[in-house]
Each structure stands twice: as C-alpha cells, then as structure tokens.
Amino acid sequence: MGFSVLRKRRYMANEGEAKPKELEYTRIINGMYYFRLRIPLDIRHYFPADEILVSLKTKDRGSAEDRVDDWRLKCDRLFTRLRLSNYADDLKEDMVRSELYPKKFAALPKKKMVRLADFIKTYKEKRGVDWRPKTEEEVRYSHWLFLEIVGNKPFHHISFEDVEAFQNTVKLLPPNMTKSPKYRDKNMADILVMPDAKPMSTTNVRKYMGWVSSLFNYAIEKGLVTKNPVPQLKKELPKKKRADKQRDIYTQEELQKIFDLVTWRKKSPSIFWATLVMIFQGCRENEICQMEPRDIVKRGTIWCLNFNEDETHVPYKHMKTDYSERVVPIHPFLISIGFLDFVEYTKKQEQVRLFMELRVHRGEYSHKFTRRYSEQFTCRLFDEKIRVLKRHPVAHSLRHNFCDYLMQKLPESHEIRPELISGLVGHDVPGMIYDNETINRYAKEFRPVPFLKTLQHLNYDQDYDLKNVIAQADLCLADIGAVKPTPINPQFVKWVPGKRRIIIDDFEEESNEDTAY
C-alpha cells in the first residue's frame, strides 16, 4: 500500500472530527502565537500603528490562552487611562511605549525634564525683554501663584486637573495677598480657611489665568506640550460684563461734589490740575501725571497737549497703545482759569515734569496721584459699603464721564462724531470707524480744529457750579505769581505769558509742526 493511500485514509478518518476553534485575539506566525488587538479609533493617534501585535513567545495553545487574557486586561487598563487622564499628548505616547514596549522604551534617550520653576525663568528671559515694571510684577506674581499651587513638577507632567485646581484655588484667594498686613505673614492654606477673607475679583482671576495661558503657549512653541488647557477652563468663569457696564461713572451730583472738593496745594499741584485735566480732556491718569512742560505745544493758534512716550528726559514715559500718542486741543475753560500760567511756572522752575511730587512706581507716575484722589474724593463721596460692594467710581471713571457726556450730545450737533471722541481719548480711530483701506493707510490723524469744535461741546462750565474751581485756580495763580486771567469763554484763545488773554475770532493757518513754548 502506497504512502499516498495511507495519507488519504487518515484524512478521511479525521474528516468527521470538529476542527479546534481559533483562539480569539491571536495570530499564528511560523507556529508562534501572537497577541493581536485592533486599537479603538478615539485613541488610535497615540499609537504607532492601527493594531497591537505582540509575540506571546509560545507555540502551545494552552499557554497562549493564559497570556492572551493577561494582555487583554493590560490593554483595557491602558485604554481607560488614555481616555480619562488629561496629560499632555506626548506624555500619553510615552505611557503607551512604556506599557507595550518596555525594553525598546528603556533604550530610547530620555526626554529632558524641564521643571516648572526653570521653565518660568526661561520664559521671563525670552519674553520679558520689553515688559514694563508693572507688567513684570503681574507676571511674576501670577507665575509664583501657579508654582505654589501646582508644585515644581516637570512641565509636561502638568495635567488639566492641575490647571483646574489652580483656577479653583485662585478664585478663593483675597487680592493683594502678599502686600496686606492681614495676609502676608500667613501661608496659603491658612488664608484659604479664614472666614473673613474676601475672594479676589473675576477680573483678577482672568488676568492670572491669562499669564498661565501665555506660559502654555510658549511651551507649545518649544514642543513640551501640545495643548493649552486654559481657554477651556476660562469658559467656566462668569462672563465679562458688557464693555460699557464694566466701570461706574459719576452721577451729576457726585461730579458736582468733586468740583466742590477740589483744592489747590502748592506742594501737591497734581490733585488740582491733573484732576481737572482728566475731567475736561478725558485722558488717562498716567498720561497727565507723566507730562512734561514741553508737551504743551501750539498747532497754529491752538494750544494743545502732546501725549507721547518720548523718554529723553522722563524715564518710563509710555502710552498704553499706539493710538494713545496724540495731539489734542486744551479745553478753553482750562486756559481761562490759568492752566498755561501753571505750565509756564513749572518751566521757570526748570521742572522736568509738571508734577514733580509724583514719583515713578512700578513704571508709572500715577500711583501716588490715584491714592491721593481716593483720599480727597472717593472716601468722602461714598460710604464704605457702597464703595466696596455696590458702586465704586474711581479716578479713571472721569474718562468715562467725558466720553458719555459727548456721546449723549451726538444728536444735537454735527460737529460731534464718534471718531472725534475716540481720537480725543486716544482710541483706535481708523480701525473702529472706517473699513476703508485708503483712509486707513493714507489719511493721517485729525488736526486740532475738528477736535476743538467737538471739545467745546463739553460744557461742564455751564452745567455745573464751578465757583470753587475758579476760586482755587485764583489761589494757584497767586501762589505762583501769575496775573489773574480775565473771565472769558473764547472759541479760540491766544496766550501770552504774564498778560491777559486775547480773543481771536478766526484761526490762523494751521501747521502740523509743534511749537513748544
């Protein structure tokens, strides 16, 4: 009997027997069992292939079954961790490689562990070159809080939960925690359990989260992480108020009280003149507090304030934005009560700035002024409860009053236009008003004439009783030895030092060149 016949009989004898069932999650290659599992779509981007294929290192079916169960459990745990944890993507990729290919992963060069404290230092060195002192202090405090709460862990180990814990903790902390005598000697854990600790405002929380967000953006650039968790978390904070609701303005009665309380002090002229300039010009506190005598210039026959950031004589002199640099007319009322005489006096005294009693603090000259303003006006006008909990108009609110007053007069005169109001206060005129490439690129800033026509509609001298203001201005002129000005309400004014004002009916031809006096 041949070999082929025996083989045929053996095949026929076994034909009726059931074939062994194929082992699930396996594949046989050259007689060796391999574990095989297709990776779910939602986490497939963390893996180098679409499926896991690992040798079970056995040809025995029974041994393979036991090892398949172990690998199946291991993969289920890994998939769950990848779905639930909020680690950075590169950390999750490391997690996959260390779990599935431990020997290969151990042979790979280790990533440099950049800890949070070191990364903050690098960020400051690279990005903090042009920071103003005030900005630098805000960034330093924001990142110090983040380091205190999260801990000095490797930056790519900082998870979504870490950043969420930071935001939730900051929301409970009081403002000025490191400055207030009530808190500065206590640690953060003790402050959090103090029953009378008033939490900081949402605005401050957003500010601190913003600087943490910039830290993550820089880390993404450097390849340490792939995602920034801050934008998603900031959505959980209360929505910002509408722009015109974010700051209170003074009522007519409150503004009248300010006019009644304003006083002239020779040793502290800023509380008188800076306050009035803010009321009648709508400028920012620091813009007037850092001003030099040479910043009062003439354009044609019009006396103007030249808001600029020329640091030649005044260090730290700066503007908030590019559009803050502007030349705007001085309100006729300020001229009529002797503002130019005061400027001339500061020039004779060889003062570098108008208000030499103000010293730079955190890169700005307005710090001492705002404190004195609060003592002179805010504390006298408002009850403590109203000031803290309900309404809190401050020095900057005068700028809001200025804009609101002119906006309410828009229907009354064609001489008042929104773009002129924006230009007077140093806001982005072309970008806000015109969607026209020709105007944006080729047209220049407004000249003083249309500005002055708009400014003359600010009739505080007609709507309010300014007897105290005029009386205090007379005391100023007496102190500095100037001639008392003749009461006038000119449309345009020519000024001669030491003489009375002369009313001019029409403008002389204007020049774009500044004439500093």
Please tell me the distance from the alpha carbon of residue 416 to that of residue 233, in angstroms, as a whole number: 43
263 — pLDDT class (breaks 50, 70, 90): very high
Percent of the chain with pLDDT over 70: 79
Q: Are residues 179 and 272 in the same domain?
A: no
Answer for the pair 338, 498: CB distance below 8 angstroms, yes or no: no
329 lies in the same domain as 448: yes
Q: Are strands 302-307 and 32-38 parallel, antiparallel or unpaired?
A: unpaired
CA distances from 494 to 297, 302, 330, 499 (A): 12, 7, 12, 11
* Residue 190 belongs to some domain of the structure: yes
DSSP state at residue 165: H
2, part of any domain? no
pLDDT confidence of residue 352? 92
> H or E segment at 55?
strand 51-55
The mean-pLDDT minimum among 220-234, 284-298, 443-457, 495-509 falls in 495-509
Paired strand residues for 493: 503
Are residues 365 and 223 located together in one domain of the fold?
no
222 and 313 both lie in a single domain: no
Out of 240, 274, 289, a domain closes at 240
Question: pLDDT at residue 411 above 90?
Answer: no
Residues 513, 144: Cα–Cα separation, whole Å:
48
Listed in sequence order, the residues at least 6 apart from 496 whose beta carbon sits closer than 8 Å to its beta carbon are: 502
Do 267 and 357 meet the contact criterion of CB atoms below 8 Å apart? yes
Enumerate residues 6+ apart whose C-beta is below 8 A from 66: none
- Do 388 and 259 share a structural domain? yes
Secondary structure of 461-514 as H, E, C letters: HHHCCCHHHHHHHHHHHHHHCCCCCCCCCCCEEECCCCCCCEEECCCCCCCCCC
- Which range of residues forms the domain containing residue 497? 252-516
Q: Does residue 488 sit in the same domain as residue 355?
A: yes
pLDDT tens figures, 324-344: 889 999 999 999 999 999 999
Distance CA 460, CA 28 (A): 93
Model pLDDT, residue 88 = 65
Judge if 74 and 127 occupy the same domain: no
> Considering the domain boundaries, does residue 12 fall inside one?
no
pLDDT band at 440 (very low <50, low <70, confident <90, very high): low
Q: Do 258 and 232 share a structural domain?
A: no
Q: What is the pLDDT of residue 379?
A: 82
From residue 321, alpha-carbon distances to 198, 282, 309, 343, 415 in Å are 33, 16, 10, 26, 26
Q: Which residue in this structure is represented by tokens 């009062």?
A: 296
Return the pLDDT at 107. Answer: 52
Residue 510 in any domain: the answer is: yes
Give the residue among 265, 335, 252, 289 at the shortest CA–CA distance from 504.
335
How far apart are alpha carbons 370 and 464 in whole angstroms? 24
**Residue 15 falls inside a structural domain:** no
- Counted domains in the chain: 3
Q: How far apart are CA 35 and CA 69, in angstroms?
A: 10
> How crowded is residue 36: how many other Cβ atoms within 10 Å of its Cβ?
17
pLDDT at 317 over 80: yes
Beta bridge partners of 364: 361
Residue 4 falls inside a structural domain = no
218 is a domain residue: yes
- Closest Cα to residue 355, out of 337, 338, 342, 336? 342
The better pLDDT of the pair 321, 217 is held by 217
DSSP reduced 3-state for 109: coil
Residues 164, 193 within the same domain: yes
385-393: average pLDDT: 60
Pick 378 or 16 by higher pLDDT: 378
Among 107, 124, 142, residue at a domain's last position = 107
HEC-encoded secondary structure of 29-40: ECCEEEEEEECC
> Is residue 478 included in any domain, yes or no?
yes
Model pTM above 0.85: no
Residue where a domain stops, chosen among 84, 107, 130: 107
d(CA 10, CA 308): 104
Tell which wins on pLDDT, 368 or 131.
Answer: 368
State residue 502 phi and psi, 5-degree precision.
-115, 125
Do 121 and 100 reside in the same domain of the chain?
no
Does 82 share its domain with 202?
A: no
Find, among 271, 282, 471, 477, the residue nearest to 354 by Cα. Answer: 271
Amino acid (1-letter code) at residue 237: L
3-state secondary structure of 433: helix
Residue 171 corresponds to which tokens in the numbers above? Answer: 């929301």
CB 423 within 8 A of CB 328: yes
What CATH number corresponds to the domain at position 153? Answer: 1.10.150
Q: What's the average model confidence in pLDDT over 145-157? A: 87
Residue 99, classed as helix, strand or coil, is helix
Same domain, 132 and 103: no
277 CB neighbour count, 10 Å cutoff? 23
Cross-strand partners of 492:
504
